[in-house]
Structure formats: C-alpha cells, structure tokens
Amino acid sequence: MTQPALARVDVSFVVPPLLDVTHVADDEIVHIGATPIAQYPTADITMRRHVMVQLAEAGGLTGVHIAERFQVTPVYLSLLRGRMRTQGSAGLAAQRRGPKGSMKVTGALAKRVRALRQTGLSYRAIATAVGQVSHQTVRRILDAEPSQIPLPVELASASAGAEDPSAPTPTPVETRAGAIEPTPAVAGPSRYAGAMLLHVALTQLRVWQVFAERGAQVGRSALSVAQVIGMVAWGFALRLGSIEGFKTALARDFGVLLGLPAAPCVQTLRTRLGALAESVAPDAILRALLAACVRLEPVWEGAYYVDGHFSPYAGQAPVAKGWNAKRRLAEPGHTDVYVHDATGRALYFLNRPLNDSLVKVLPDLVREIRAVAPDQRVILVFDRGGYSGAGFRALTDAGIGFLTYLKGRKARRRFPSDRFGQRWWALDDPAGIGKRQRHVYRVYERGTRIRGAGLVRTVVVEDDEGQIPVLTNCADLPAAKAVHLLRLRWRQENSFKYLSTHFGIEQIIQYGVTTTTDRRLVDNPTRARVQTQLDEARAARVFGEADVGQAVMAGASARTAAPTATRRAARVIEARIARLEHRLTQTPTKVPVTSLPQRPRKRATLKSDRHDLVTAIKLATYNAERLLARRFFRHYQDPRDWLTIFRSLLQLPGVLRQEADGTIAVLLQAPDQPRIHRALVAFLADINDGHPRMFGTGPALRFEVQDEPPRLN
C-alpha cells in the first residue's frame, strides 16, 4: 500500500488514546497519550468541567473511561453534558450551593460577631444579640478564621499567648505515605478534648506507620490517611455507635481531634474509606498490627485464645448461613474468627464469609502467629468448635500446644471423687490489675484415646458443678496451670461482649456481594423422605407386633390374636420395609444443589474489604484504650471501676491551644472527685514524659489539668 493510501486509513478505532489526569503542585494536567491537552488550577471547577465535557463530546473515549480518570461518576458526567447542550458554557460554571439569594453573612456582620466574641459571649448569646443568624452560623463565622477565635473571658488567663500573631506558623508534616498533613486548627474549647489521649496509644501501636508504610491512599481529597483512620477510631472511642452515628457528634469539636476546622460528613467518610480499602490489603494491615502488638508486649505464657463471632446479615442476597449463638438458630451472615491473649487484647481476626468451622481456620492462624513469634512457645486455647482428632495431630506435629474441652460420649463419663487431688498454681494477673493469687483445683489426670490423634492427655477438674475433662498435648504443663489457662478463656467472651456493645464489631459496614453459581453438594432431600417413610413403616411393624403380644398375654390363642387380616397387613408392611431399605441404599446421600427444585442457583459472598479495614481500626482503638487504661490504673489502683473511670476521661471537655513553639497544649477539665483528680494528674505527667505527637509525626502534645471548667457552647 502506498504512502498516500496509508494516510487515508482511519486507525483511531484500533488503538484508543490513553487518557491520564495527573496533579503537579496546585495544577491538574490532562494528557492523551504523551500529549498534554489541558492544564488548569485544581481549584478551578469550571475549567475542569469544560475539559470533561469536551472530551466526551469529541468522541473516541467512553463516558465511563473519562469519569473514571477524573474520579467522578458517569451519571455526573452525563449531567454536565446535558447542561452544556441546554445552557451552553454558563451551565458549567461553578455556583455556590444552597439558597441563591443574597448572603446574610456580610463583612460587617462577621466583624460584629468577632467583636462580640471578644467580650466573652457564647455562640447563642451572640446570635441573639445580632438577631439575623443562628448560633450555628456564628460558629461557622468564627471557624472561618481559627487564628482569630478568642476564648471566653474565664479562660483567657489559661490561654494567654495562644492567639499571638507573631507566633510562628507550624509547617506541614510530611507523612510516610506522601500526603501532607494540614496545619491543625486546634484553638478553642472542645467537648471531646479527653479523646486526644488516643494519639499516644495509637502511635505506640504503630497504627499510623502501618498504613503509611503500605502506601495507603484516600483518593482525591483534602483529608489525609491519618485523618480518615482517626475519624473512625475517635468515633467509636467516643461511643457514637456506628459510622452512621458519627453525624450526631459536634462537627467542630470532633474536627479538633483530627486537626480540622470541622469533621467531614458521613458520606465523605464512607467515600474515603472505600478508597482506603482499595489502596491497601486489609490482611497485610492486620498482620502488621499483630506484629506491633506482640512487639510492644509479648503474649503472656504464649497462650492465644481463638474463637469465632457471628455477624448476622439482613439483606436479600443468598448469603451462606451460620450459627448465631445468641439466638440459637442458623441464619444468613458471616463469621469472624478472633485471636486474643490473656490480658484481653484483640490481636488478630480472620473473616470467614462461608462460616468455615474453627478446625479449618486454625492452620491459617498458626501461620500468622508463627510469622510474628517464631521462637515463642505457642498454646492455642479454644472451645469445642475446634475439636478434631486430625486437627490435634496436625497441631502436635507442628509443635503447637492446645487446650480445649473433651467432646462426645467420653466427656459425660464420671469418676469417683477419691481419685481427685488438690493442685494449685500461683500467678499475678496478666493484665496487671489483680493481685497475686493462688488458684487451687481438684484434678484427676488420665489419657483419652481419640480417633486420629491417639492417646491425648486429659485433666479432669471437679468443682461444685460437676466434672469437666480438659484435653491438652502439653506434657510438661502443670495440671492446675492447664485448667486455669482454659478458664481464662472467658476473658475473650467478655471482650466480645465489650466489643459488640461499644465498637459494633457485628456491623456489616458494606452490603455489596459477589454472586457465583452454587455448586455445593448438599443433603439429598429425597433420601430424607425415604428415611422418614422407612421409620414410619418400622414403627407400624413394632406396633402391630405389640398388639399381637398383648392379645396373647391376655389369654387369646395364636390364631385369634393374629387373624388372617392382621397377618396379611404384617406381610404388606414387611414388603414395604424391604422396598424402602433397597431404595435407601440406591439413593445418594449428597446431590448438587443445582439439581434441586426451588433452590437458589446462585450463592452470594459478602464483600469484606471495607469491613475488614474498619474492624482492624476498631480493634486497634480497643487495644489503645486498654493500653491507656492499664497505665492509668498504675496511679488509680482500684480494680473495681478502673476501666469505667478511664472511659469517662476520654469524654472530658477541655481547651486546646497552640504554643509559640508549635506544641499543642491540651487542657482537660478537672474531675470532681479528688482521688480521680490526683490519679489523672499523675497519669498525664507519665504521658508527657513520652513526648507524644499528633498522628505520631505531627505537632508535639502536652496534657494538663485545668481547675476552671471550659465554657462550651
């Protein structure tokens, strides 16, 4: 083909141009292939809309592809194209949202509001004095310039120097993920100032570093990764109940914890969480957090407590069923398998959307534990859900100890009381709360032969409620210690109750599903019907023979007790039993679920990336809370209500101010009770000795107790 002929060939449909949108400094650059076609400031929404619409109208690129590159929805792009056709370029101009009339907030009004605030009036008092706006609008006016927000008169002495205009402006903090943390807007009072303490423990658990090292991103947003994680953490730490419940928090007071003028709305948080879940692998995050927990505090006695927790599903998708122990029935949902230690820390969890048995999950957990504790002796403690002879043999061959209960008919056997002897084990509370105590048990040791595992050591413990056989493969473990380690498993149950009540670990978070063809083998319903008919026929034979026997015992002859009709009916029953037994042997036990009528041919699996990520943040927050609470107990020393008192400290109001050197001073309201006040002062001094920082690498933090209560609006 000649060169002129080649020039006339249209090959644009063969290799579609590659569209790419990049950010350089404060500009956005659009490329088609290697050729830049547009450059405009990121804040110029109107120009951005024009470029999107022109690309869509020019053809060659699908609307879905353009929307994906510009991180908008295809519906939004279609809406812009419609505006362009009907209104022209004016339809793409960015307009302010809300009412289109004249603004109530003018420069003169804002100046008057600030002047009234200087006198110490509250937001409501200022709104009443002005008479044109609400107290929420007054708050927004003052939030627009955080550096000019004065504190109430009664706190002016405590906040002296916080509004000094000559103070240096803190420089942005570069995170390891590459995102710039915005300069914190921390001036002013906050109802949630006590929750700033979580910055300390979350940094110790390396939460911020774990996400940063794995390149976590939240998409095109002014929020940083740490702020998105922090919003989830503080929302549940403040007992807001669910992500949807975050809307009940005071936006400005909540935003102060994150270094923002106001907390973002719930929809923004959901969008950013979706982007965050797509940028990292939740299992890698969980594995890194497990390593951080074990590195910070090794697992006591190497005892890892394993149990499953069921989360019910109320949607319409054909999700697999699991056993809900709370309601004592099988219902749709998924099971999360958690790993705790004896102190109550939640170390790790695995999501099992198909509700696999605990026996199938144990090998995966062993690999994860061995990866972070290769040299430590490991003892898995679980309930009867993990009972399996083959599983016991596999754990023993891998050098893993186990503790569980004996199951089945052998577990119901009872032994004479004279075989039991007293054994004891003295230990300190693993959590450091209780005093050293000697635990005495009446035990009897023997061996139990289990199919697939051979002879397994059994420690039978006797108490007022009866005898409980305990299985273990740890030959060198004292009998009393083995029993006590298994009884500490109830701390995991208490942790489940706490996590369910305060952190909502049963929440689904996302309702998306992945649907596949169901190819499972299920119980054959035909065989069940044949078995029922066979049981009925056998019962009829037994009743017929019983009637004949009663007649004979009453004095009737054999002919009179079993007349011809009775013998004929007996022969019919016998023939029916023979036919049913033959049919039962020819009927398969399992059949493909697709061969059954009126059965769903599809099987849905819940998408779990966002759920796993949020649950990982919840567990990290729970561990951070307990870590701080145990440090607080060193100064409080009352095992009866130490955790309740500490939870109340996270709700303390206070004032945040920024010092001349960039340090953020957190002034907490003093508790009413002198004993709690003294413990809090000592606890905060202990915290300050560690030189805490916001988000681990942000401005330095200093915690103090102020005697004057903050004035909150």
**35: which 2 tokens?**
């050729």
The beta strands (E) that lie in 182-328 are given as: 188-190, 303-312, 321-324
The string of pLDDT tens digits covering residues 519-532 is 778 888 899 999 99
What is the arithmetic mean of pLDDT over 606-629?
94
Give the rounded distance of the alpha carbon of 258 from its chain centre. Answer: 20
pLDDT confidence of residue 675: 94
State the Cα–Cα distance between residues 669 and 685, nearest whole angstrom. 15
pLDDT confidence of residue 12: 44
Above 60 in pLDDT, residue 186? no
What is the arithmetic mean of pLDDT over 233-246?
93
* pLDDT band at residue 673 using 50, 70 and 90 as cut-offs: very high
pLDDT confidence of residue 607: 87
**6: which 2 tokens?**
């080649």
pLDDT confidence of residue 178: 37
The string of pLDDT tens digits covering residues 530-584 is 999 999 999 998 888 887 777 777 777 666 767 777 788 888 899 999 999 999 9
Note the pTM of the prediction, 2 decimals: 0.70
Q: Give the three-state DSSP class for 325.
A: coil
State the Cα–Cα distance between residues 554 and 423, nearest whole angstrom. 63
What is the arithmetic mean of pLDDT over 441-448?
94
pLDDT confidence of residue 17: 56
Instruction: Name every residue whose Cβ is closer than 8 Å to that of residue 171 and which is 6 or more positions away in sequence.
Output: 183
Identity of the amino acid at 318: P
pLDDT confidence of residue 146: 41
Identity of the amino acid at 594: T
Above 90 in pLDDT, residue 239? yes
The DSSP letter of residue 657 is E
What is the arithmetic mean of pLDDT over 585-597?
85
The string of pLDDT tens digits covering residues 111-125 is 888 888 888 787 888
**256: which 2 tokens?**
């102060």
The string of pLDDT tens digits covering residues 42-55 is 888 889 999 999 88
pLDDT confidence of residue 1: 47
Strands 303-312 vs 379-381: parallel, antiparallel or unpaired? parallel
* pLDDT band at residue 395 using 50, 70 and 90 as cut-offs: very high
* pLDDT band at residue 58 using 50, 70 and 90 as cut-offs: confident
Tell me the Ramachandran region of residue 504: left when phi exceeds 0, alpha when psi lies from -120 to 50, beta otherwise: left
Closest of 462, 449, 484 to residue 415, by C-alpha: 462
Specify burial of residue 233 (Cβ count, 10 A radius: 0-12, 13-18, 19+). buried
What is the arithmetic mean of pLDDT over 185-193?
78
Instruction: Name every residue whose Cβ is closer than 8 Å to that of residue 620 and which is 6 or more positions away in sequence.
Output: 202, 205, 207, 233, 289
The string of pLDDT tens digits covering residues 337-384 is 999 999 999 999 999 887 888 999 999 999 999 999 888 899 999 999
pLDDT confidence of residue 78: 87
pLDDT confidence of residue 681: 95
Three-class DSSP labels, 202-216 = HHHCCHHHHHHHCCC
**495: which 2 tokens?**
């942790």
Highest mean pLDDT among 301-305, 324-328, 564-568: 301-305
Averaged pLDDT of the chain: 85
The beta strands (E) that lie in 98-199 are given as: 173-174, 180-181, 188-190
State the Cα–Cα distance between residues 603 and 353, nearest whole angstrom. 11
The string of pLDDT tens digits covering residues 137-178 is 887 788 764 433 333 333 333 333 334 444 444 444 433 333
* pLDDT band at residue 219 using 50, 70 and 90 as cut-offs: confident
What is the arithmetic mean of pLDDT over 86-106?
73
* pLDDT band at residue 57 using 50, 70 and 90 as cut-offs: confident
What is the arithmetic mean of pLDDT over 306-322?
89
Domain borders along the chain are: 14-92, 107-144, 521-599
What is the arithmetic mean of pLDDT over 488-499?
93
Residue 292 or 595, more confident: 292
* pLDDT band at residue 603 using 50, 70 and 90 as cut-offs: confident
The string of pLDDT tens digits covering residues 9-21 is 444 444 445 788 8
Strands 401-405 vs 379-381: parallel, antiparallel or unpaired? parallel
The string of pLDDT tens digits covering residues 242-260 is 999 999 999 999 999 998 8
Instruction: Name every residue whose Cβ is closer than 8 Å to that of residue 334 and which is 6 or more positions away in sequence.
Output: 310, 311, 313, 319, 320, 322, 351, 352, 353, 354, 355, 606, 608
Strands 466-472 vs 454-463: parallel, antiparallel or unpaired? antiparallel
Residue 233 or 510, more confident: 233
Percent of the chain beyond pLDDT 90? 49
Tell me the Ramachandran region of residue 488: left when phi exceeds 0, alpha when psi lies from -120 to 50, beta otherwise: alpha
Question: Does residue 549 contact residue 535 with C-beta atoms inside 8 Å?
Answer: no
Specify burial of residue 497 (Cβ count, 10 A radius: 0-12, 13-18, 19+). exposed
